[in-house]
Structure 1
Amino acid sequence: MLRYTVRRVLQLVLVVWVLSVLIFAWLRSLPGGPVSALLGDRGTAETRAQLTEALGLDDPIFVQYLRFVGRALTGDFGTSTGVSPGKPAMDLFMERFPATIELSIAAVLIALVTAIPLGYVAARRRGGWLDNTGIVGSMIGISIPIFFLAFLLKYLISIKLGLLPTGGRQSATIDATRVTGFFVLDGLLTREWDAAWDALRHLFLPALALASIPFAVIFRITRASVLDVMDEDYVRTARSKGLAGRVIRDRHILRNAMLPVVTTVGLQTGALLSGAVLTETVFAWQGIGQALAIGFERKDFPVLQVVIIAAAMAYVLVNLLVDLSYAVIDPRIRTAQKGS
């Protein structure tokens, strides 16, 4: 198990290193280089020369890369030029990161608590109305664009019915105490129940929109995996022995069907940032997804650097946790690791 963990951590380090090389190369492949990207059409020959010297772009490329990595390791990605001009990119990221994590956790929870039970029940009642409805619903969830679903939910539930807020993380009239940056959790920790409830009402619609694709994928994988396990000999043997239905479900079906589901959950969790960009933009959710969209629009490369690197690290960390969870779910993996 220890060797397995070390190998996965080394793979994570390798992925992050490759990503740093790609981002470094991308910045220098921009039309006119970073100087033109930062100055735009306003730069004169003199200002371009000054900025080139200030950024160290006249040094050897290997020296520039080492400087880039050194600054990244200390959290120095430069100052925002478009999203929040004058603010250090790392500070801006740390301010907005809890918002995206809160939204992603809510979306994953919505997907998990609905998709796994529905996928299991649909598989047990294969061909029934619930199975057919779930299949149609999952196909719609996969095919409908997130930004369209977000606009649709916002229009129907917020604008037409007035049941939930149209955007933002919390009402401006709420005087809430900030502790962690997670607005719902902050309200619970400080016992400001009105602030927690208001933050939860703001959170629900964007989380529901963001959960559409994870729900659809997890439902279909759960259903297919449960169907495969139900046809295994050990499940039929357990039934012939007269074991209780709950024991068969928990120990024999769900436990063995969870491996592909865990893989899918990990991949979907890591990929939530791509959906968060659109969801946060529609609902004016001030997270890193919105910052990424604004950064591309305004060519804020310091912000783009930190967001892209952090998103990639979050993705590989999630997949590391998924790989390690295999050994907990499937005893055969633990045995294989001991043998190796």
Structure 2
Amino acid sequence: MTSYIIRRLLLAIPVLLGILFVTFAMARMLPGDPCRAVLGEHATDQICDAFMERHGLNKPIPTQFAIYLNEVTHGDFGDSLRFQRPVTELLSERLPVTVELAVYALTFAVIVGIPLGIISAYWRNSAVDVGTMLLANTGVSMPVFWLGLMMAYTFAVLLKDTPFWLPPSGRMTSGMSLAPLYEVWNVSVEGKEGLYSVLAFFSNVNTFNALVTGSWPELWDAIKHLILPATAVGTIPMSIIARMTRSSLLEVLGLDYVRTARAKGLRETAVVLNHALRNALLPVVTIVGLQLGALMGGAVLTETIFGLTGVGKTLFDSITSRDYVVVQVFTLVIAIGFVALNMIIDLSYAFLDPRIRLE
């Protein structure tokens, strides 16, 4: 298994380099003037010439990429053209927002989707089966932006002044905040950029910060703010997972070893949960991994609707404002996440099916 992991990591290097180069080149080939997109339409030609020279944008794209790659290998990811701040600072502030949203959305999708699929397969061709699949088909058909708006309107407006009210935007209630973990733990981060980035990242995952510091009112407040966006962006993955679980489980239930288990007199519940489910989860695991892409795609709209400043909204704003540096780094981080997730999925196959060996 160790050799397999090393081989996958080595194969990931050219993939990530290719993604970085394509993103780098396409960002610079977009129509429009990057100088005036950042500085405004009233910037003079002299100012724009100086801007292009300072950021190396007047050089050929291969030359720019070689310079950028050299800087990245030395840990310098550059400064945002729009925010005039190191892009790593922006990443440590905004990546946790999207990661937290994606984790809760995927958790919702899995813990609701898989049981729905099992229930539907267990009572196949019944009213329960029709009802669960109707729910799944409805969920996969609803656009994220429409569902998000309807949920915000329902729970924040129609259910106002009721116990079911939920906040329609933001990450925490105004007036509530969480101190950075390095302040809570009295950790010195001066001159330690790596340590600062890690602690800043986890500090900005509000639910984790509140949990490890014992800030229970802040934890409940952060969870309440996550319920609507996580449900909205997780509904489509939940529906897809439910349908895949049902179809995969029905296929496995028709295999010979399952009929043998039934012939031995085992209960149908034991046959489904103890014998069929584990094998049926193999394609479901693949689907769960692929749904991360749907979550990232839906994050742009969801973050905009619910007022969350995460990777999706920042990436969209950076593309429209021609902030190359942010686009490159954020895209690279998303690509690394996909590569890591696919590796975890491949490794999980060996756990779910002992016949599979990773060599």
Question: TM (normalized to structure 1)?
Answer: 0.91
Q: CA deviation at 1:92?
A: 0.7
Instruction: Give a deviation string over 1:194-246, Cα, whole Å, max 9, x none.
Output: 11111111111100101111101100000000000000001001111234555
Q: Which residue of 2 aligns with 1:281?
A: 304
Q: CA deviation at 1:4?
A: 3.2
| Runs of at least 5 residues in structure 1 that lack an aligned partner in the other structure | none
Q: Which residue of 2 aligns with 1:318?
A: 341
Q: How many residues align?
A: 334
Greater Cα shift, 317-326 or 143-152: 317-326
Instruction: Give a deviation string over 1:251-301, Cα, whole Å, max 9, x none.
Output: 421110011000000110243111111111100012112212322343333
CA distance in 2, matches of 1:14, 1:132: 47
Q: Does the CA-based 8 Å contact 1:75-1:90 persist in structure 2?
A: no
| Runs of at least 5 residues in structure 2 that lack an aligned partner in the other structure | 182-201
Q: Which residue of 1 aligns with 2:20?
A: 20
CA distance in 2, matches of 1:265, 1:318: 10
The one-letter amino acid paired with 1:5 is I
Q: Which residue of 2 aligns with 1:10?
A: 10
Secondary structure of 1:332's counterpart equals coil
CA distance in 1, matches of 2:10, 2:295: 24
Q: Which residue of 2 aligns with 1:55?
A: 55
Q: Does the CA-based 8 Å contact 1:110-1:208 persist in structure 2?
A: yes
Q: Do the aligned partners of residues 212 and 67 (structure 1) sit closer, same or farther apart at CA in structure 2, a change above 3 Å counting?
A: same
Q: CA deviation at 1:44?
A: 3.4
The one-letter amino acid paired with 1:236 is R
Q: Do the aligned partners of residues 90 and 175 (structure 1) sit closer, same or farther apart at CA in structure 2, a change above 3 Å counting?
A: closer
Greater Cα shift, 242-251 or 269-278: 242-251
CA distance in 2, matches of 1:240, 1:28: 66
Q: Do the aligned partners of residues 278 and 245 (structure 1) sit closer, same or farther apart at CA in structure 2, a change above 3 Å counting?
A: same
Greater Cα shift, 70-79 or 91-100: 70-79
Q: Which residue of 1 aligns with 2:352?
A: 329
Q: Which residue of 2 aligns with 1:148?
A: 146
The one-letter amino acid paired with 1:211 is G
Q: Which residue of 1 aligns with 2:232?
A: 209
Q: Which residue of 2 aligns with 1:173?
A: 175
Check if 1:305 corresponds to 2:328.
yes
Greater Cα shift, 283-292 or 224-233: 283-292
Q: CA deviation at 1:28?
A: 2.6
CA distance in 2, matches of 1:308, 1:292: 8
Q: Does the CA-based 8 Å contact 1:270-1:318 persist in structure 2?
A: no
Q: Which residue of 2 aligns with 1:164?
A: 166
Residue 218 of structure 1, aligned match among 236, 241, 260: 241
Q: Do the aligned partners of residues 329 and 160 (structure 1) sit closer, same or farther apart at CA in structure 2, a change above 3 Å counting?
A: same
Residue 256 of structure 1, aligned match among 279, 286, 290: 279
Question: TM (normalized to structure 2)?
Answer: 0.86
Check if 1:239 corresponds to 2:241.
no
Q: Which residue of 2 aligns with 1:123?
A: 121
CA distance in 2, matches of 1:26, 1:64: 13
Q: Does the CA-based 8 Å contact 1:225-1:260 persist in structure 2?
A: yes
Q: CA deviation at 1:314?
A: 1.1
Q: Do the aligned partners of residues 154 and 58 (structure 1) sit closer, same or farther apart at CA in structure 2, a change above 3 Å counting?
A: closer
The one-letter amino acid paired with 1:183 is N
Q: Do the aligned partners of residues 144 and 240 (structure 1) sit closer, same or farther apart at CA in structure 2, a change above 3 Å counting?
A: same
The one-letter amino acid paired with 1:329 is L
**Percent of residue pairs bearing the same amino acid type:** 40
Q: Does the CA-based 8 Å contact 1:27-1:33 persist in structure 2?
A: no
Check if 1:89 corresponds to 2:87.
yes
Q: Does the CA-based 8 Å contact 1:31-1:37 persist in structure 2?
A: no
Q: Which residue of 1 aligns with 2:45?
A: 45
Q: Does the CA-based 8 Å contact 2:81-2:323 persist in structure 1?
A: yes
RMSD: 2.1
CA distance in 1, matches of 2:59, 2:210: 50
Q: Does the CA-based 8 Å contact 2:27-2:322 persist in structure 1?
A: no
CA distance in 2, matches of 1:272, 1:175: 27
Instruction: Give a deviation string over 1:285-324, Cα, whole Å, max 9, x none.
Output: 1211221232234333322222222112212211121112
Q: Which residue of 2 aligns with 1:98?
A: 96
The one-letter amino acid paired with 1:145 is P
CA distance in 2, matches of 1:33, 1:312: 27
CA distance in 1, matches of 2:57, 2:211: 49
